[in-house]
Copies of this chain bind each other. A is one copy, B any other.
C-alpha cells in the first residue's frame, strides 16, 4: 500500500544520535525516508505543515528528566498525537580510531551530559584524560574520527556511522538509563487497543493546585485508571494556570478510560488528548508493568454494572 503507513519520517538530529537509533526500531521507518531536524519544534512543525508524516522526538530520559520543549510543543499550537513510544536504553560507548589503545588516550570528546553520565567510569579507567565538550554525541564521534581528540563518548550508532571501533561498551554509571521517544503524527484514528496501552493527556487546571489535582486524580482512581507518569509545567498563557502531563494505563477506546476522560473534560479548564498507543514492551526504568484493575473495576465489572443499570431503569430489577 504505497503512501501508507507514513513514509516520510523526521527525527531530532543530527544523524548518529539516539533519536535516529530509536527510529530504526520502528519497522515502517526502514521502508520510509528519514530526515534529521535541528530541533524538536522544527521536527514537529514539519509534520504540522505536511512536509513529514511522523516525527520521532524525545519525551523524557531517566537522567535528564522531561524534555520540556517536547511537552510544550504537544500542549500548544496545532494539535498532534502520539502513535507509538520507543524506550531506548541509553548505552554509551567509548569509541576511537582503529589501532587506538586505551592507555594511549589523552583526550575524550563528549557531549557534557554524556560525560556526566560516565564520570565514574572515566575516573576509574581514564583518570588522566582531558574531556573536551562537544555539541552532540554525533559531533563527539566526528571529532574522534577527525583526530581532533583521541576518543569519543557516543552512542553505538554514532560510532558505526563514523566507522570507529568500540573500545568499551556500556560505560554509563547507571546501566539502566533510558530515553523515551515518541512518534508523533497529525490527528487521526488512534492505533487499535492491544490490551497494554498508554494514553497521554495534557490537563489544564486553574487556581488551587492541591484541590484541583486531587480532583483530577480522583476522576482516574474512581475508574481504576492508573498513572504511569505525572509532570507539571506552568503555562505562559495566564497566571496561575498549570498544565499537567499524564500518562494513563489504557486506551481511549476502553470504557473505563473513556469515562475517566469525560470526567476530566468536565472538571478541568481544558484537556488535550495526546494519543493512545501500545506500551513499549520490555522497557526498563521508565515504565512499570501494567497494574491489574482493582477489585470491581475490571471490564467485566463495567459490563455487569451497565447491564444491571439497564434492568433497573426498566424496572426489571432492583
List residues 29-56 of chain A with CB under 8 A from any CB of chain B.
38-41
Q: How far is the CB of A225 from the nearest CB of chain B, in Å?
A: 7
Stretch at the interface among A92-100, A150-158, A160-168, A234-242: A234-242
Q: Chain A: interface secondary structure?
A: mixed
Q: What are 22 contact pairs spanning A and B, CB under 8 A?
A: A38-B112, A39-B112, A62-B68, A63-B72, A64-B68, A65-B66, A65-B68, A79-B318, A133-B135, A187-B317, A189-B314, A189-B315, A209-B288, A210-B225, A213-B217, A213-B227, A214-B221, A234-B286, A239-B284, A258-B309, A265-B305, A273-B312
In the assembled complex, which residues on chain B have CB atoms less than 8 Å from the CB atom of A281? none
Q: Are A285 and B236 in contact (CB under 8 A)?
A: yes
CA distance A41 to B218 in the complex (A): 37
Q: Which among B259, B284, B305, B312 is the interface contact of A252 at CB below 8 angstroms?
A: B312
In the assembled complex, which residues on chain B have CB atoms less than 8 Å from the CB atom of A135? 112, 133-135
Nearest opposing residue in chain B for A246, CB measure: B210
CA distance A208 to B218 in the complex (A): 14
**A231 lies within 8 A of chain B by Cβ:** yes
In the assembled complex, which residues on chain B have CB atoms less than 8 Å from the CB atom of A301? 266
In the assembled complex, which residues on chain B have CB atoms less than 8 Å from the CB atom of A230? 209, 213, 230-232
Q: Are A296 and B309 in contact (CB under 8 A)?
A: no
Q: How far is the CB of A84 from the nearest CB of chain B, in Å?
A: 15
List residues 276-318 of chain A with CB under 8 A from any CB of chain B.
284-286, 288-289, 291, 295-297, 301-302, 304-306, 308-309, 312-318
Q: Which among B39, B64, B68 is the interface contact of A69 at CB below 8 angstroms?
A: B64
In the assembled complex, which residues on chain B have CB atoms less than 8 Å from the CB atom of A213? 217, 227, 230
CA distance A274 to B315 in the complex (A): 11
**Other A-B pairs, 8, CB within 8 Å; known A63-B68, A65-B67, A65-B233:** A65-B231, A66-B66, A187-B315, A208-B226, A261-B305, A266-B301, A267-B295, A273-B318
In the assembled complex, which residues on chain B have CB atoms less than 8 Å from the CB atom of A25? none
In the assembled complex, which residues on chain B have CB atoms less than 8 Å from the CB atom of A170? none
**A21 lies within 8 A of chain B by Cβ:** no
**5 A-B pairs closest in CB distance:** A65-B68, A262-B305, A266-B296, A79-B318, A189-B315
Q: Are B222 and A262 in contact (CB under 8 A)?
A: no
